[in-house]
Amino acid sequence: MQQPPPATPQRLHIDLIQHPRGTAVRVIGELDYDTAPELLTTLQHVVAEYPGPVVLDCAEISFCDSSGLNALLRARRNASEHHRPLILVAPSRATVRVLRMTGADAVFGTASTVEEALGT
Amino acid sequence: MSSRETAGGRDMLPADRADDRSPGRRGVVSGSAGPGIGRLESAVQRVRAALPLPSETADARAMVDCAVGILMERGRLNVARARAQLDEMAETAGTGILQTAADLLAHAPHQGPAGASAPGGDVPAYGVEGHQAAQALLDNALHPLGAHAVAVWAQASDGTLHLAGQAGFPADALPAAQPRTTAGTPDTVARRAVAGAAVAWSSAQEPVPSGRPCHTSRAAAPAYLGGQIVGALEVCWLEPPDRDAHLERSLNALADLAAHTLTLDTQPLSAAHAAVPDTDVTRLADSLPDPVMVLTPAFDARGQLSDFTIAYTNDRFQDLAGRPATCVVRRGLRQTYPAFTRPGGLWEKVEHVLATGEPYRSEDFPLHTQVGTVKVTTEAQLGVSRINDHVLVTWRLQDENAQRLGSLLQHAQRLGRIGGFEDDLASGRTTWNQELYDLFGNQEGTPPLPLAELRERVHEDDRDSFDAFRTTVTRYHKAASVALRVRRSDFVIRHVRITAEPVLHGDELVAVRGACQDVSAHHWTEVALDATRDQLAQTQAHVSEQARLTRQLQHAIMPATPQTTQVRGLDIAVRYRPASQDHAVGGDWYDTVELPGGTVLIAVGDVAGHGIGAATGMVALRNALRGLAATGAGPAQLLAWLNNVAFHLTDNVTATAICGIFDPATRTLCWARAGHLPPILLSQDPPRQLTSGPGILLGALPDASYTEQQLTLNPGESLLLFTDGLIERKDDIGQDDLIGTLADTAYPRDKSLSDQLDHLLAHSRSDTDDDTCLIGVHIPSEL
């Protein structure tokens, strides 16, 4: 055995949470090269399977690098192709930092609570 | 040995010479009336003693002596010549002398398909010898059981039972043959024994085959040879015997014994029968549109059927438990499908078909299998038939989903997330196992939910599927399986596959039991759960090949060796530090190039991600920027174009970059950034990061605009450009760290640019193992 396959398991945890007004994706942990593909796949799945805005609860993202941002941007692109907004809820400090630095904060809708985001 | 040899032997053995054997023969088996009878007598003694086989040597010696006798008789040879011929035959057959002798004996009183093909006048087809064998059986074994007449029937390939021998019956009491009945239940006791593969008893009213009732009680037992029924033993009593298990066992044993005196037009199986089916059988299996399993019977040391080997499967075959074919083929049926041996299960059918040759067919046969701790029952259209010495089993599953059930369950076992439930409809009680509580997020101790109440937990878009699934199980009494989104008690949504089967008592549904499997993981991550080891190894080889290519690519463009150059009087030093892990080779790049108008392009960039995708993105952007810069456009325009390249011309590449154009004549730097960290200016004042306007990273939007800043650099000042590998930290305070390092008195401000960059790399507290690119631009005092 050479390189073990990139291990994703425990650093990122993704849940779909059903709220009274719709479904939100909750992300807990680190978003980087190894973990970002799982988030992207989940968000693409949500766009395909659930109606309404794509709501991403970012309050518990502890780290986000350029690959994490790339996944968010690709998810946004995918959502907008389906005429659906991607809304970031309560982005954590780590998320805000990378969004600000790269100017990407301009392209995402944000909300302070999931309920607010689902109401849009 | 071939049947021709045996047939020749029989021809030379006229019935009236049966007692008039050559001296040599008499000397070998003294007091016996013929080879068949002599063997039968000694064998009968063995059965009566109900002992294990007598001492092997004595038995073997007797067998070889008998075989020599047969050869002497057949070829009119002396003992020595006959023995030599036996040795020769053994050598040719390659089976050893004992086996050869045994084969010879088994075929000795050869009857052939005489009754079917050549009735040959009024001579009984099976000759006097068969009757003598029957007489020996009656005298030695059946009189002690109270019987007074016996008949041995041999079954021909067309199903006709031919009388092979009888004793104790009045002359002409029995017909020479009982043709196979084509419709209705078999009418005679021997036929019933053969058809039912079990001891059959006659009722009082039943006519004997000849139509002349002469005995009060009759029984027949099927005669087995090599797992196949080759005939029947019919026994008659004047006084009804006690029909107990002991009597039936004795009859079965005697019938099997009698089977050895019968020789049919099909070669009987031997214990050493090859487990590989011939090509005719495999071709037949390949031609059928349904899954086919070819079974070969396996026998234990005593010649009893012990198991079937799954000798071949066609390419449509899919294991019910989802295992790859290699886990099934050439394994024992018993070991591979233990649940088939349940009463009424497939095993019984296969055994019966092998024995009788009668094909079996069912429209809704329950196939049981077990995956881990989960029992799965699937209904199938089943066909079982015998071909040559093999049994072909073919099935078509009623529910196509069921085909995938086994493999899904295998996934479930691997995921270790399988919940089991049972709804007992009679008592109204529902049982869940621990895993199911976990799966639904319900507190252990709270009442489990019956299937009907799970509906409210199902996502509303999936409720129709859920209803259809329930109807299949509860109304149509079929096992079913469905994938659904369910809401846990903590509102987390999971993708669950529910599989349920009805438990019926007669026609009544008494319970529903099933399993739930959390399939969220492979819905989302598409983890290659069913990737084989080979594929994994291949992937790993691919990964390491990719890493090698990426590194080569990187090295071609971004030399890892320290570089210091002079461009139009500017001192430029570069450090590139690749990530420590091979697979993390990244997409950082820099470029410094003199442009046609005498200006200098200074650029640094960072493509998101790493690996071959990032490296090719980096090459594309770097080369595009070089080409675009030759137009003489300003940095803001260059970045806008580069954004177009990233968004439209690459495969979802996003990148940050700084693009600067330095004019040596005015020492002015005009620069713009696309989501990249601004440069740091090192001057007489404390180090400071340049301020800049907004500028989104490349590739995020189809169109983007950027703002330019102007900066005049004085002689002796330096500018530091870097990628985030230098500062990126999981606790995100790295940027302040960098300024701190630069402001610290330990910073080698007065040393060469190279020394300064080395110092920065050495003091970098980045903890993300990203690759790092660092560029220093110094304005010499004399510029």
The verdict on residue A98 lying in a domain is yes
The verdict on residue A1 lying in a domain is no
Q: Percent of chain A having pLDDT more than 90?
A: 61
Residue-range definition of the domain harbouring residue A30: 10-119
Partners of residue A38 in chain B, C-beta under 8 Å? 524-525
Cβ atoms of residues B481 and B402 within 8 Å: yes
Nearest CB to A2; choose among B524, B540, B768: B540
Nearest CB to A102; choose among B523, B544, B697: B697
Residues of B with CB under 8 A from a CB of A: 459, 461, 485, 487, 491-493, 523-526, 536, 539-540, 543-544, 547, 582-584, 606-610, 652, 654, 656, 674-677, 694-697, 699-701, 724, 728, 730, 732, 768, 770
Nearest CB to B732; choose among A18, A97, A102: A97
User: Average pLDDT of B476-490?
Assistant: 84
B732 to chain A, closest Cα gap in Å:
7
The CATH number linked to A88 is: 3.30.750.24
Closest-approach residue (CA) in chain B for A45: B524
Partners of residue A14 in chain B, C-beta under 8 Å? 524
CB atoms A69 and B697 under 8 Å: yes
**Residue-level pLDDT at B166:** 83
Q: Is the dihedral of CA B7, B9, B14, B18 positive or negative?
A: negative
Q: Report the side by side order of strands in the sheet with B292-299.
A: B305-313, B292-299, B390-397, B374-387, B360-371
Residue B648 CA to residue B268 CA, distance in Å, equals 75
Residue B391 Cα distances to A64, B386, B542, angstroms: 62, 4, 45
B407-416, B521-530, B665-674: segment of lowest average pLDDT: B521-530
**Residue-level pLDDT at B33:** 40
User: Average pLDDT of B423-451?
Assistant: 83
B289 to chain A, closest Cα gap in Å:
37
Chain A with chain B: Cβ pairs closer than 8 A: 106
A75 to chain B, closest Cα gap in Å:
11
Considering chain A, what is the average pLDDT of its residues? 87
A101 to chain B, closest Cα gap in Å:
6
Cα three-residue angle A9-A14-A16, rounded to 5 degrees = 145
**Residue-level pLDDT at B764:** 82
Grade residue B17 by pLDDT with cuts at 50, 70 and 90: very low
Residue B137 CA to residue B132 CA, distance in Å, equals 9
For B149-186, the three-class secondary structure string (H helix, E strand, C coil) is EEEEEEECCCCCEEEEEEECCCCCCCCCEECCCCCCCC
Cβ atoms of residues B464 and B417 within 8 Å: no
Residue A95 Cα distances to A64, B22, B77, B312, B653, angstroms: 6, 106, 102, 58, 19
* CB neighbours of residue A46 within 10 Å: 24
CB atoms A41 and B526 under 8 Å: yes
A25 to chain B, closest Cα gap in Å:
9
pLDDT above 70: residue B337? yes
User: Average pLDDT of B550-574?
Assistant: 72
CB atoms A14 and B524 under 8 Å: yes
The verdict on residue A97 lying in a domain is yes
pLDDT above 80: residue A57? yes
Most A CBs within 10 Å, among B493, B526, B548, B691, to test the A interface: B493
Structure tokens at A81: 């192709």
Closest-approach residue (CA) in chain A for B525: A38
Q: Estimate the crossing angle of helix B79-93 against helix B97-107, to 10 degrees.
A: 110
Residue B364 CA to residue B85 CA, distance in Å, equals 55
Number of H-type helices and E-type strands within chain B: 23, 27
A77 to chain B, closest Cα gap in Å:
8
User: Average pLDDT of B710-721?
Assistant: 93
**Residue-level pLDDT at B69:** 67
Q: Looking at the DSSP assignment, which residues form a beta bridge with residue B656?
A: B606
Cβ atoms of residues B246 and B215 within 8 Å: no
Nearest CB to B608; choose among A6, A19, A69: A69
Residues of A with CB under 8 A from a CB of B: 1-3, 5-6, 8, 14-19, 23, 30, 32-33, 37-38, 41-42, 45, 49, 62-63, 65-67, 69-70, 73-74, 77, 93-94, 97, 101-104, 106-107
Closest-approach residue (CA) in chain B for A33: B609
CB atoms A63 and B543 under 8 Å: no
Residue B492 CA to residue B479 CA, distance in Å, equals 28
Structure tokens at B157: 């390939």
Question: In chain B, what are the domains?
Answer: 1-110 (no CATH), 126-265 (3.30.450.40), 279-398 (3.30.450.20), 405-524 (3.30.450.20), 551-778 (3.60.40.10)
Most B CBs within 10 Å, among A14, A43, A66, A73, to test the B interface: A66
Closest-approach residue (CA) in chain A for B537: A1
Long-range contacts of A104-107 (CB under 8 A, 24+ apart): A104/A69, A104/A72, A104/A73, A104/B675, A104/B696, A104/B697, A104/B700, A106/B694, A106/B696, A107/A73, A107/A76, A107/B696, A107/B700, A107/B701
Nearest CB to A18; choose among B493, B652, B701: B493
B299 to chain A, closest Cα gap in Å:
43
B248-262, B299-313, B722-736: segment of lowest average pLDDT: B722-736
Considering chain B, what is the average pLDDT of its residues? 74
Quickly list H helices, chain A. Answer: 36-49, 66-81, 93-102, 114-119
The verdict on residue A5 lying in a domain is no
User: Average pLDDT of B571-578?
Assistant: 85
Residue A37 CA to residue B489 CA, distance in Å, equals 28
Q: Which DSSP letter does residue B113 get?
A: T
More confident residue, B103 or B606: B606
Closest-approach residue (CA) in chain B for A106: B696
Identify the helix (H) or strand (E) that includes residue B101: helix B97-107
More confident residue, B431 or B406: B431
**Residue-level pLDDT at A104:** 94
The verdict on residue A4 lying in a domain is no
Partners of residue B771 in chain A, C-beta under 8 Å? none
**Residue-level pLDDT at B705:** 94
pLDDT above 80: residue B769? no
Cβ atoms of residues A41 and B525 within 8 Å: yes
A29-33, B157-161, B447-451: segment of lowest average pLDDT: B157-161
More confident residue, B198 or B216: B198
pLDDT above 80: residue B115? no
The verdict on residue A3 lying in a domain is no
pLDDT above 50: residue B114? no
Structure tokens at B763: 């003091």
Reported as a single tens digit per residue, the pLDDT across B455-475 is 989 988 889 989 999 998 999
Closest-approach residue (CA) in chain A for B653: A70
pLDDT above 60: residue B121? no
Residue that has been written with the tokens 């011309």 in this structure: B649
Reported as a single tens digit per residue, the pLDDT across B532-545 is 334 545 566 666 66
For B322-385, the three-class secondary structure string (H helix, E strand, C coil) is CCCHHHCCCCEHHHHCHHHHCCCCHHHHHHHHHHHCCCEEEEEEEEEEEECCEEEEEEEEEEEE
CB atoms B654 and A17 under 8 Å: no
The verdict on residue A32 lying in a domain is yes
**Residue-level pLDDT at B433:** 77
Closest-approach residue (CA) in chain A for B547: A3
Nearest CB to B700; choose among A1, A62, A104: A104
Residue B741 CA to residue B774 CA, distance in Å, equals 15
Domain count, chain A: 1
Partners of residue B608 in chain A, C-beta under 8 Å? 65-67, 69-70
Burial B202-218 (b: 16+ CB within 10 A, else e): beeeeebbeeeeebebb
Residue B690 CA to residue B678 CA, distance in Å, equals 6
The verdict on residue A114 lying in a domain is yes
**Residue-level pLDDT at B640:** 93
User: Average pLDDT of A35-61?
Assistant: 91
CB atoms A103 and B695 under 8 Å: yes
Residue B39 CA to residue B32 CA, distance in Å, equals 9
Reported as a single tens digit per residue, the pLDDT across B676-706 is 999 999 998 899 999 888 899 999 999 999 9
Reported as a single tens digit per residue, the pLDDT across B338-395 is 888 888 889 999 988 988 888 899 988 888 877 665 667 777 889 999 988 889 999 8
Nearest CB to A103; choose among B547, B694, B724: B694
CB atoms B544 and A3 under 8 Å: yes
Q: Looking at the DSSP assignment, which residues form a beta bridge with residue A89?
A: A57, A111
* CB neighbours of residue B743 within 10 Å: 13
Backbone angles phi, psi at B482, to 5 degrees: -150, 145
